[in-house]
Amino acid sequence: MDETPFTMAELMDADEVIEDKAVPKDSQVVGQTWQYVNKSGGPDKRFKNNRRLPICLYGELELHSASGLNTVIMFSNAQLR
């Protein structure tokens, strides 16, 4: 049996995530968008409750193993390296 739990653990570049819940304290907000967007990128005026949503930068850790584990863990502080 292989004693190494992971054959590969890779810290990936940060990803932008549209956050529709509360923004974590340690995340970096890099922009904003609308909940409902029209083709031109602006707010879709058909929706009364069309709110702005923050775009946050999240870090990613990929874990792979020989036994078939393939998972991605996202974390809100993209500066952790």
Which string of DSSP letters, residue by residue, matches 12-61? Answer: EEEEEEE--SPPPTTPEEEEEEESSB-TTSSB-TT-TT--EEEEEEEEEE
Tell me: the pLDDT tens digits for 23-70? Answer: 999 999 999 999 999 999 999 999 999 999 999 999 888 888 888 888
Domains: count for the chain: 1
Asked, for residue 23, whether it belongs to a domain, the answer is: yes
Asked, for residue 53, whether it belongs to a domain, the answer is: yes
How confident is the model at residue 56, as a pLDDT? 94
pTM: 0.74
Asked, for residue 1, whether it belongs to a domain, the answer is: no
Asked, for residue 2, whether it belongs to a domain, the answer is: no
Which structural domain, as residue segments, surrounds residue 42? 8-75
Asked, for residue 36, whether it belongs to a domain, the answer is: yes
Asked, for residue 43, whether it belongs to a domain, the answer is: yes
Asked, for residue 80, whether it belongs to a domain, the answer is: no
